[in-house]
Amino acid sequence: MSDAAPPPAPSPELSAAVDHGELSAGAAQNVAKALADPHRSGSHAAIQSLIDAGDWQELDALYFEVIPFGTGGRRGRMSDHGTATMNPRTVAESADGLARYMAQQFPEKAAKRGGLKAAVAHDTRHRSEEFARLTATTLAARGVRTFMFRGFRSTPELSFAVRELNCDAGVVVSASHNPPSDNGFKAYWDDGAQVLPPHDRGIIDAVYASTEIPTLDFDRAVDDGLIEVIGEEIDSAYVDAVADLSLSSNRDVTAVYTSLHGVGETNVFAVLDQAGFRGVELLDSQRNPDGGFPTVDANFPNPERLEVYGPAIERAKEIDADLVLATDPDSDRLGVCAKNAFGEYLHISGNRVGALICDHILRKRHQQGTLPANGYVVETLVTTRLIGAIAKAADVQVIDDLLVGFKYIGQKMDQEGPDSFLFGAEESLGYLAGQYARDKDAAVAALYIMELAASLKSGGKTLHDRLDELFIEHGYHAEGQFSEKLPGSGGRETTAKLMAAFRSDPPTSLGGIELAKVFDYEDHEVRSLPGNERTEALPEPDGNLMIFQSDPGGSAAVRVAVRPSGTEPKIKFYTFANAAVSDADRLPAVKESTDATLAKVQGDLSAWVAAKLGELSS
């Protein structure tokens, strides 16, 4: 029997709001806990003001949950207080929980002052520097020697710094490609990868146990040697490590690069300049670091969105550039548009950029005789199978059964041996080569895309031409995705119910194609369709992901992946269709028919989801 005190009961006002459907039960419980917690006294007046005003909607948004760690740590809306948002308390308790968990895992280091080490970086978002300094002082107050970057830096450079400085953990304050309202706390372990089980669970348990959180004055901590400000020396080592991965000397290519007001000038542009690319122009209108992302369409700096490329494409047309490159605010993702034979700048999806880079690496290393005998390529379960086809044709091992999240690619690198690692990719514009980091890096991706484009240009070809050659050799692969946003206090419950519907009563036909199997990575089984009957076990990996697929013998093979997002309140759907191409003359017709099939699959899937959500809400 537990001796723990029962949680405080919500006040009559809070209980009445719950009874009237104005406030979720979870929010009422979290508000009651916050008001009873003397360590949260700084937020008591603000909470009471919302209660007095009857602003239950805002109170619910601030307290409906305790913001969790997902595939990318903690991420969400910023506010001054609230268990469900990124604010000084949730940032400090994240750092405090990380520090205490580090001490549990490395007790000998924790026994001496400054024995534990961590690195901290931040992007250009609103409050990122504030939250990074708070993270650093909290870690330092727990006795962790903390290396903090002077000014904003990219996420991959943080991964590099953790390894370079032999740190036990690291933190990046960033919300990646989210809107300006958001920020995040991404935790890294001593290998330079984002935290994995069991460490993620251990950290969040420690976070939940945080009560009184110690702190230090930043300047005093610097004077005492518990915080060390770092910068140029790590920058130089990082840039050299990436630029040294060059596989070609051809530099005759031009590009317009936009950081979308983020940190990308510190890694992507720095690496391209170090590697000798002189034809890269920084888009001046989006160069200024600004967390409001003022010149980006809808202020939403996600390079997966075609709308963000508008200003860069306009400039590319003016100077007749070959490429347009864009990165998200923390510059771990690279988006690419390339000019075609008609002078049009067409976006190339993350899946296809990954295929192009994989092909470039394998061909160049084969030519140079540097392909290891046991070399391997890694991709996630929701990434294009074209990468696997390219690797298999080069007699290279393919590891393609990983859950979503680049941390799993980093983990696989160390399990299989980094010396044999050739390339890792995920569909959301994430790529890595080399051994210098354990997270995706837009800089190394930009290096290889520029080299490939330069080589192709010398032969009168474009990236689009090379893609067509890959399709003819390995089959035409088309991919798409969409999301169903389920925000608010009821979002997690609705998400769980929708995932349950996919498991118990799944779609059996999409786009006129019968689905034959579902691979369920949470229930760990393969089921046949349409009967939805278990046919075999599926031991690994372990995650809330389902993949539906058709029989491979049809004119077009179809796959559909379904999973809740690990960082945002939504379910993500990934669609795939591929078909063989008998010869170059048939490629246009195969493209047209396969794209049409994929569109029908997405339309039917979207309709099925809408119908199920309607049933759940009725």
Checking phi first, is residue 562 left (phi over 0); if not, alpha (psi -120 to 50) or beta?
Answer: beta
**What single letter denotes the amino acid at residue 156?**
P
Read off the tokens for 72: 């990318």
Read off the tokens for 82: 């609230």
Measured CA to CA, the distance from residue 407 to residue 123 in angstroms comes to 20
Catalytic positions are 176
How far, in Å, are 431, 467, 583, 600 from residue 355 at the CA level?
10, 8, 20, 24
Termini Cα distance of the chain: 41
DSSP secondary structure letter of residue 263: S
Q: Helix, strand, or coil here: 56?
A: helix
How far, in Å, are 354, 365, 371, 372, 501 from residue 368 at the CA level?
21, 5, 8, 11, 52
CA dihedral 457, 463, 465, 466 (to 10 degrees): 100
| Secondary structure element (H or E) that encloses residue 188, with its range | strand 182-189
Beta-bridged to residue 323, according to DSSP, are 255, 338
| Secondary structure element (H or E) that encloses residue 314, with its range | helix 310-319
The phi and psi torsions of 297 (rounded to 5 degrees) equal -50, 125
The angle subtended at Cα 312 by Cα 77 and Cα 596, nearest 5°, is 80
Give the pairing of strands 334-339 and 323-327.
Answer: antiparallel
Read off the tokens for 594: 């396969």
Measured CA to CA, the distance from residue 578 to residue 595 in angstroms comes to 9
Give the pairing of strands 145-149 and 227-230.
Answer: parallel
Of residues 172, 209, 190, 181, the one with CA closest to residue 73 = 172
